[in-house]
């Protein structure tokens, strides 16, 4: 199996980090997504890593999903946030740091791309210095994040091509992109050079990956493996089962070739 599997911390936040790490390791997972850098040491003791982190809530309210790089007036504060986060991520061994576009609020697609590029260009030298990849997360604006701008793969790819830097790629969330555009396997194959991390969840509802939802995850897993992708697939579903770790085991099995 060329890729590794992880699970997002927030989906299992009713459990201590130590318990989640132990249970995840027992299931064969290799990481826990979305830890703060100072939490990573806890999971390393279980043989796990943190594949991707994101900026914590900032007092300014910037750096969140809704208010981020597509507004030039946010850039100075965002640069301060990421100048602290990028070295901390590198020190903890976390290879990817999430960024967001922010909401449109009337911006055209091209304005959003131009503004994001201008802001990200300011922190990419630091990412390169610390051997970290910045990833912008693709999210749906139809159900979960109304008005979010980076809501289609084509928009994200256009931003990658404008920036043209190997330290900037996309986080392809399969759940979100199924909601927005479908055609998941073909999209992954066509754009794999721009995709650095993946998230999963069932559609509709963002719950388990089982037979009651519409995505054929074993087929997606085989297609992703066929591209030679060797990074992480992170499970980011909200469990509904009485035993959430049974749901995580089922998700892991879906992606075990």
How is the chain split into domains, by residue range? Answer: 4-254
Q: What is the pLDDT of residue 56?
A: 87
Look up residue 67 and give its two tokens.
């208010």
Low-confidence stretches of the chain (pLDDT < 50) are none
Phi, psi angle pair for 97, to nearest 5°: -125, 125
Integer CA distances (angstroms), 47 to 19, 85, 134, 165, 229, in order: 13, 23, 24, 31, 22
- CA-CA distance, 101 to 8, in Å (whole number)? 21
12-156-214 Cα angle (round to 5): 50
Q: What is the pLDDT of residue 59?
A: 87
Element of type H or E holding 8:
strand 4-8
Rounded to two decimals, the pTM is 0.97
A 10 A CB-CB count for 219 gives 12
- Tokens 């396997």 identify what position? 185
- CA-CA distance, 119 to 125, in Å (whole number)? 12
Q: What is the pLDDT of residue 95?
A: 98
CATH class (in words) of the domain with range 4-254: alpha beta
Residue-wise pLDDT tens digits, 145-189? 999 999 999 999 999 999 999 999 999 999 999 999 999 999 999
């Amino acid at each position: 199996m060329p890729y590794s599997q992880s699970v997002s911390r927030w989906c299992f936040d009713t459990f201590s980090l130590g318990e989640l790490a132990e249970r995840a390791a027992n299931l064969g997972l290799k990481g826990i997504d979305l830890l703060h850098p100072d939490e990573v040491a806890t999971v390393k003791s279980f043989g796990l890593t943190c594949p991707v982190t994101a900026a914590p809530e900032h007092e300014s309210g910037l750096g969140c999903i809704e208010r981020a790089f597509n507004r030039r007036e946010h850039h100075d504060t965002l640069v301060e946030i990421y100048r602290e986060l990028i070295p901390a991520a590198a020190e903890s061994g976390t290879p990817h740091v999430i960024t967001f576009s922010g909401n449109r609020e009337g911006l055209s697609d091209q304005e959003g791309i131009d503004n994001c590029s201008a802001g990200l260009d300011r922190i990419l030298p630091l990412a390169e210095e610390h051997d970290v990849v910045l990833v912008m997360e693709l999210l749906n604006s139809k159900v979960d994040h109304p008005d979010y701008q980076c809501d289609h793969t084509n928009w994200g790819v256009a931003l990658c091509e404008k920036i043209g830097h190997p330290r900037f790629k996309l986080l392809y969330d399969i759940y979100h992109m199924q909601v927005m555009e479908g055609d998941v396997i073909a999209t992954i194959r066509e754009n794999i050079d721009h995709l650095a991390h993946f998230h999963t969840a069932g559609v509709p509802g963002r719950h388990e990956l089982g037979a009651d939802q519409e995505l054929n995850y074993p087929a997606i897993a085989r297609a992703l493996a066929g591209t030679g992708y060797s990074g992480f697939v992170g499970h980011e579903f909200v469990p509904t089962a009485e035993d959430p770790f049974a749901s995580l085991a089922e998700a892991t099995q879906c992606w075990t070739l």
